[in-house]
Structure 1
C-alpha cells in the first residue's frame, strides 16, 4: 500500500492508495513467463549458431567452412561476403564488424553463422571450422596501450582551478593507483533472438534487447532495407544489466540475415560459455590519483587519471569513461581539480554498458583516498567523509562539481548521519577497535560510505521517450511504451502511473510488449532512466485522453473541466457521478478519441564536451550504506556479517520494487568488488567462462543482517510524481564492503596504515594485503 502525490499540485496534493505487485511475478515463479527460447516457433523454424574464429588475434589467412557445410542438418553457412548492407554495426562509432573476414581483432571473433534444422546440429557444426591466422602479440594492459598510443577514442579532460599550485601548497599529499576489475553480466537468459519473415520483405524480430530501436536500425542497415520493414518486439529479458543495450544487436542481425535469405523463421541462442566469451563486460579500469589536503583532512587539490580498458572497439566506451570522470568526485568537493579520462584499446572482446555505466569505477579512487587520509591523520574515515561532502561545514558555498554543475537537493550529510545513528556506527566502531586489539586472528572492519549518482543519459538526445495508450469500450486500457522489461518492474510502474491518472484499479491496465511499430525511435532502457522517461511519456498520453473526457463532460453538464475528478473507478463532478467504464462507453458514442501518444524530453540538461562544462544530469540520486566484515587473517577469508542501507528514492512509486532493486543492486555490486574475477589468457581470451570458474554471489554470501530503509523525500526536480531512479545507484552502495575489508586489515597496524587492495577483493588478494601489512608493521 502506498500514497501517490499529484504531480501537478505538489503543495496540496490529492492522494490515492494503490496496492500492487510486479506485473509478471506469478509468471516468473510459475515458469509461465515467456522468454525468446520459450516462444512458439513455426514448424519450419531453423536454428543458427555463430562460428567462432581462432583463439588469437592477427590476419586471417584461411577460412575453411567445408566441414561445417557438410555437417548433418546444415542448411546454409553465411559469411561477411553474404551481407548485402552494412558490415559494421558500431552502436555510435564504427568498428564492430558483424562477421570478421580478413582480420581477427579479438580471440574467437565470429567469422560465420551456420543455420541448421536444430539448435544442437547448428552448435555442433559450428565447431568444425578450420582457420589459419598469422597471429601477432596482443595488447592487453593499460601500460601496453599507453606505450603504443592504442586508443579507441581521444582523451577528455575536466579542470577547475589550478591543481598544481594548490597541490604544492597543501600540508599533506597522497597518491595512489587502483586496479579495478571488470564484471560479467551473468544475466539468466543468454543472448537470443528469433526472426520471422513476413510479406513484402518485412521481418518481425523477437530480441532479448534493452534497445529495440537500435536492433531495428542495425538489422535494416545490414540487410539494406528501410527501417519500416523491420519490427522489433521485446516482451521481457531474463536480465540485462547493460549487457543487452548494444550487444544484443549482432545476434538479431545474424538471425535476420538467415531469415531474409532462407525465407524461414530463424532462432539463435548462445550457450552460457560462448555468451561469456563473445560478449563484452564491465570495463576494467586503472586509476591514478593525487590528493592534497590540510591538517584536518579537507581536500584542497585533486588529480585523477582514469584509464578505461575498452576492448577492440569504442562500443559505448566514450560515454562510459565520461561518466567515470563525472563521478570521480562521488559525493565530495575536490578543490582545485584535474580529471583526465583515457579510452584504451585492447585486443579483447569490446566491453560495454553495465549497471552504473562507468560511475562505480570512477568513484572507487576517491573512496580509496579518503580511507588513506583517515589513516594518515589518525581519524575516523566517516569523519573525513563528512568533512569533505559538498556543502559541508566551511564549504557551504561549494556546491558546484568539477565539471560546472550546480548541485541542488543535496541531503547526503543528513542521510549519512541518520544511518550512522540507526546502525550505531560510533559505538560499534569503538567496540571493534577494542575487539581487534585482543583478537589475534579474526579482525572486524566497519565502514560507512555514500553515493551521489547522476540521473540522465549523458548523450542528450537519448533523454526522450514515447508512449501509446488505447482505452477500449469496456474501460480496459492497453499501454505501450519505449522502455523494456528485464525484471526491474518498469512495466509495473508504468501501469501504476496510468492507473493513477485515470483513478482506476491497476488490473484494468495491460502493458504490452515493447514494439517499434507502436512507439518508434526509442532510447535504450538504461541509465536508470526507464521510469523517469517512459513514466512521464505515459502520463502525458493519459492526461491528453483525460482532458478530452473532461471536456466532453464539461460540455454535457455545463461545468468546469477543472472540477471533474477521476478516483476509485469513478468520474465525479458537480451534480454527477458515473463509473469509469460507463464514461468510456458514453465517450465512444460521442466520438471522443480514446487513444493518444505521449512524449517526454528531460529538461535543463546539456554538457558542452569542448568546454568540459555543463549539466549532464537532471538530478542526483543519493544513498549511504554501512558494512560490517569479519576477516580471517590466516587465510584471507571474510564474511559480510551486517549491512545497513538508507537510500534516497524520492516519493517511491513502489516501495517493494524499490527495495528489491536496492537489495539486488547491492549484492551484485558486492560481487563485483569481492568475488567476481575475470581471468584472461595471454592471447586475450576469457578463461573464466562458466559458473565453475566465475563466482557470482550466492545466497550464502548475503549478509546475515541486512537492513534496508527508504529515504523518502520528494525529488527537488519535477520527475514522475517526484520519484527518483533506483536501478543503478544502489550498485555503488557496497563500496562500504570493500572499505570495511580494508578497515579490518588496517587494524593490524593500529589503523596507522591504509592497505592497498585492488578489486575484486578476492580471498587471495585479501590474504596478500594482510601479508603486506604485517611486513610493514614488522619493519617499523
Structure 2
C-alpha cells in the first residue's frame, strides 16, 4: 500500500473519510502500548489468586482454608462472608451470579474464595491448598442433555410471529424438517482479564479494568462494596482485544480487587492466566436450530417455524438479549411471508455464556443460511439462486417486513451481491469447479456466495446513548474523552477524526485520553457495533457547542456576521482576515469564552415492545457479501481456503483502512468459529479445550490464499449517522458463512450434489471426513 495512505495531515476535505493509521498502531507493533499489567505498580501492591471449584454441580459441605491462610506470603483469604455489600455481579440484575459461591457450585471452575498474597505466584500456589468437601449433584452441559433433563430457562424466551405459519406451512408442495448444531467460541483476546484496584480516602477506590463497559464495572464494584457509584472510578485506556468477552466478565475480577484493596488499604491486582481465563469466563453461546420450512418447486419460502435453543450456562448474564438478537437475525437477508421464531435460553452447568462479536446474530443468520442450502439441494439449484429468489424486496414490493415487523427501507443486498458475483467471476468459477470435481477422485472443490444483513443498535433502547467531553486549550490543542473503549478496533482514532474534522485541524492536535467514569458518566458498553455511531455523534455535539461559542466571539470581536466566519484547515476566515486556529483560540480564552463542552447523543427512531414482538429495534442495516472457494481432501477431511472475495457496505467510511482491517479480521475470526474452534466439555463437566494447545484459532497460514476485500464506495448511510458512515465491528463476521457453505458444496460433490451434507459447525476436518464417508455410503 502506498505510504501516503497513512498520511496524518488532513486533506482538503478534512480528516474524516481518510485512511489514517490507528493512533496506537506503532505502539502495538513495538510493544510500547501500555496495558494494565504494564502500569508501574504502587509500592506494596498485592496480588490475587483464585480458588476454583472442581465440580460441575454440587453442594458445598465444608471449606477448610487453614492451609491456604498459612501459606507463604498470604495476607488475606476472601470468602463470601467477607463481602461488605452484595455478593452478586449479575449483569442483568437477576441476582443469579454470586461473586463467590457459598453452598452451591453450578459449574466447574466457579469461584469459591480468593487469595491475596505478596506475589502472584504465592497467591496462585496457596489457592490450590484448600480442602473442600462436596456432595455431587446431576449435571448437564449442552442443549440436548439440558432438554432431556428438563432444564430451566435462565431468562424469559421470546417469540416473533408474523402471518399465519401454523396453517400456511401445510400449503406448499415441499417441506423440510431438520436441525443444525452451532458451536460456541472462545474470545481468545491477547490480553486476559485483569484489574488493578487502588484504594483512596473515605469510600473511594480507583479501578483500572480491562473492560468494554467501565460504567457497569463501576456499578458492580459499588454494589459489592456497599457504597455509591460516585466513590468508584473505573479507567480503561486500551484492551488487548475484547470481542464481547469483556462486556460483563471483568466484573468479578474488578470487584475482588476492590474488596481486597479497601480492606487491606493496599493496591491489589488480579490477573488470571490463560487456562483460568478460558475455564471461568463465558463464551459465545452454542445453539441448536430446529426448523420446519415450507416452499414451492422454485425454492421460494412460504412459511417457517423455527426454535433457536441456546446453551446459556448457569446464570442469565446476557443470554436474554443474545437469544433475542438471534431471532432478530433468523431472517438473514430473506423475506418470510409466514413465520414463527422462538428462543429457548437453556440453563446448563457450565460457565455463563456472554456477549461475543455479533451477539447471537451469527447463530441466527447461520440457521437461515442452512435453511436456504437445504432448499437448494432439495430443488436441485445453486444456493445462490435460492438466495436471490428469497431476498427482501424494495419498498412497495410487499416483501419488506421483518419477523419483528420492522420495514427494511435501506435494502442494498441485491446490488451488493450482483456486483460481487460479477467482480469475483462467480459463475465461471463455479462451472470450472463442477468440471474439476468430475475428474478429481481425492481433492474436491466448493464455492459459495453468501450475503449479510445486520441490524445496528442495542436492542435495549436505553443503551443507545453516549456522552463525550471535549476541551480546547488556549494553545489550540484539544483534549478528547468519551464513553467508548478501545480494544484495537480503532474507535479512538475515528472519534478523534470527527473532532479534528469539526475544528478543521490536524489530527495531531487531538489528544485521546483513557476512558474513565470520572469524566463521562453512565456510559454504554462498547458493543453492538455502535461505538463509532454513538461516541462519534456525542463528540460532534460537544464540538458543535464550542464552535457556536467561538463563532459568536468572532462576530463580536471582528464585527462580522456568522456567514463571514469559516473554519479552514488550521485557521479561520473571519471577514477578510485569516487567523491561525491557535491564535484565535487564545484570543477567545482571554475574552472568557468557555472552551469546554459535554456532548450527548441518543439514537433516534428506535423502539421495541418485546412482549408483543413488534417495533423498530434497529436504526439501520449494514450489508455485505462474500465468495469463498475451498479445496477438501476426501481422505482426511482437511481443507484449504483458496480464495475469498468480499464486498462490504460501511456507508461513507470514516477511515477506510481501519474499516478494511475490521472486515478482514472479522472474516478470519468468523472462519475460525465455523471451521477449527471447538469447545469440548468432558463427562465431569470440565472444559478441556482451555489453552492454545487444545483450542485452535486460525493462524496466518489459514487465511484465504487469495484475499480480495473491497468496501462499497458508492454507499452512504440513508440515516444521518456520523459522516453518513455505517457500523463495521460485527457485520463482517458473518461474511465467513461462505467458507462453511463452500466446504458443504465440496462434500456434496461426493453424492453428485443430490443431498445436503448438513454440516454442523464448526466443520472440523473430523466432521468433514465423517460427512464425506456418510455420503459415500449413500451414493
What range describes the TM-score normalised by the shorter chain of this pair? over 0.9
How far did 1:592 drift?
A: 0.2
**Counterparts of 1:684 and 1:469 in 2: how far apart (Å)?**
50
**Counterparts of 1:438 and 1:700 in 2: how far apart (Å)?**
28
How far did 1:174 drift?
A: 1.2
**Counterparts of 1:572 and 1:684 in 2: how far apart (Å)?**
69
Please give the secondary structure, in 1, of the residue aligned with 2:707. Answer: strand
Structure 1: 5+ residue stretches without partners: 4-12
**Counterparts of 1:541 and 1:106 in 2: how far apart (Å)?**
46
Counterpart of 1:81? 81
Counterpart of 2:546? 545
Counterpart of 1:390? 392
| Equivalent of residue 157 in structure 2, options 155, 158, 172 | 155
How far did 1:145 drift?
A: 2.5
- Residue deviations 1:548-581 (CA, integer Å, cap 9, x gap): 0011101222322243221210111322210000
Counterpart of 1:275? 277
Counterpart of 1:585? 586
Q: How does 1:625-636 map to 2 (within 5 A)?
A: 625-636=626-637
Please give the secondary structure, in 2, of the residue aligned with 1:310. Answer: strand
How far did 1:450 drift?
A: 0.3
Is residue 41 of structure 1 aligned with residue 41 of structure 2?
Answer: yes
Please give the secondary structure, in 2, of the residue aligned with 1:49. Answer: strand
- Residue deviations 1:214-273 (CA, integer Å, cap 9, x gap): 000010110111111100000000000000000011000000010010000001101000
Contact 1:641 1:705 in 2 (8 A): yes
Counterpart of 1:615? 616
How far did 1:166 drift?
A: 1.6
| Equivalent of residue 295 in structure 2, options 293, 296, 320 | 293
**Counterparts of 1:456 and 1:323 in 2: how far apart (Å)?**
11
**Counterparts of 1:659 and 1:149 in 2: how far apart (Å)?**
43
Is residue 324 of structure 1 aligned with residue 350 of structure 2?
Answer: no
Counterpart of 2:345? 343
**Counterparts of 2:643 and 2:142 in 1: how far apart (Å)?**
36
Please give the secondary structure, in 2, of the residue aligned with 1:357. Answer: coil
Please give the secondary structure, in 2, of the residue aligned with 1:342. Answer: strand
How far did 1:175 drift?
A: 1.8
TM-score by length of 2: 0.97
How far did 1:373 drift?
A: 1.2
| Equivalent of residue 190 in structure 1, options 173, 189, 192 | 192
- Residue deviations 1:569-623 (CA, integer Å, cap 9, x gap): 0111322210000011000000000000000000000110111000111000000
**Counterparts of 1:282 and 1:436 in 2: how far apart (Å)?**
36
- The 10-residue stretch of structure 1 (118-127 or 592-601) with the greater mean CA deviation from structure 2: 118-127
CA RMSD of aligned residues (A): 1.4
Please give the secondary structure, in 1, of the residue aligned with 2:723. Answer: helix
Is residue 725 of structure 1 aligned with residue 727 of structure 2?
Answer: yes
- Residue deviations 1:698-735 (CA, integer Å, cap 9, x gap): 01101110000001311011110100000001111000
Counterpart of 2:130? 129
How far did 1:2 drift?
A: 8.5
Counterpart of 2:9? none
Counterpart of 1:7? none
**Counterparts of 2:365 and 2:16 in 1: how far apart (Å)?**
39
**Counterparts of 2:567 and 2:775 in 1: how far apart (Å)?**
66
Please give the secondary structure, in 1, of the residue aligned with 2:313. Answer: coil
Contact 1:18 1:505 in 2 (8 A): no
**Counterparts of 1:256 and 1:510 in 2: how far apart (Å)?**
29
Counterpart of 1:478? 479
**Counterparts of 1:105 and 1:402 in 2: how far apart (Å)?**
36
Contact 1:482 1:514 in 2 (8 A): yes
Counterpart of 2:21? 21
Please give the secondary structure, in 1, of the residue aligned with 2:653. Answer: coil
Counterpart of 2:421? 420
**Counterparts of 1:185 and 1:605 in 2: how far apart (Å)?**
30
Counterpart of 2:509? 508
Give structure 1 regions of 4+ aligned residues with deviation exceeding 3 angstroms.
13-19
Counterpart of 1:462? 463
Q: How does 1:346-745 map to 2 (within 5 A)?
A: 346-391=348-393, 396-712=397-713, 713-745=715-747
How far did 1:16 drift?
A: 7.0
**Counterparts of 2:90 and 2:345 in 1: how far apart (Å)?**
16
Q: How does 1:298-309 map to 2 (within 5 A)?
A: 298-309=300-311
Q: Aligned in 2, Cα 1:15/1:281: closer, same or farther, shift over 3 Å?
A: closer
Contact 1:180 1:285 in 2 (8 A): yes
How far did 1:139 drift?
A: 2.0
**Counterparts of 1:273 and 1:149 in 2: how far apart (Å)?**
28
Contact 1:137 1:683 in 2 (8 A): no
Contact 1:54 1:132 in 2 (8 A): no
| Equivalent of residue 224 in structure 1, options 226, 235, 240 | 226
Please give the secondary structure, in 2, of the residue aligned with 1:410. Answer: coil
Counterpart of 1:67? 67
How far did 1:94 drift?
A: 2.0
- The 10-residue stretch of structure 1 (148-157 or 200-209) with the greater mean CA deviation from structure 2: 148-157
**Counterparts of 1:89 and 1:215 in 2: how far apart (Å)?**
9
Contact 1:76 1:116 in 2 (8 A): yes
Contact 1:386 1:392 in 2 (8 A): no
Counterpart of 1:311? 313
**Counterparts of 2:716 and 2:368 in 1: how far apart (Å)?**
29
Contact 1:145 1:151 in 2 (8 A): no
Q: Aligned in 2, Cα 1:159/1:284: closer, same or farther, shift over 3 Å?
A: same
**Counterparts of 2:550 and 2:19 in 1: how far apart (Å)?**
26
Counterpart of 1:263? 265
Contact 2:183 2:762 in 1 (8 A): yes
**Counterparts of 1:218 and 1:230 in 2: how far apart (Å)?**
10
Please give the secondary structure, in 2, of the residue aligned with 1:461. Answer: helix
TM-score by length of 1: 0.97
Counterpart of 2:167? 165
Please give the secondary structure, in 2, of the residue aligned with 1:761. Answer: coil
- Residue deviations 1:306-355 (CA, integer Å, cap 9, x gap): 00110000000000000000000000001200000011000111000000
**Counterparts of 2:100 and 2:388 in 1: how far apart (Å)?**
52
**Counterparts of 1:247 and 1:660 in 2: how far apart (Å)?**
26
- Residue deviations 1:113-140 (CA, integer Å, cap 9, x gap): 1000111111111111111100111022
Q: How does 1:732-771 map to 2 (within 5 A)?
A: 732-771=734-773
- Residue deviations 1:166-206 (CA, integer Å, cap 9, x gap): 21111211121001100000000001000001122210100
Contact 1:666 1:732 in 2 (8 A): yes
- How many residues are matched? 767
Contact 1:304 1:340 in 2 (8 A): yes
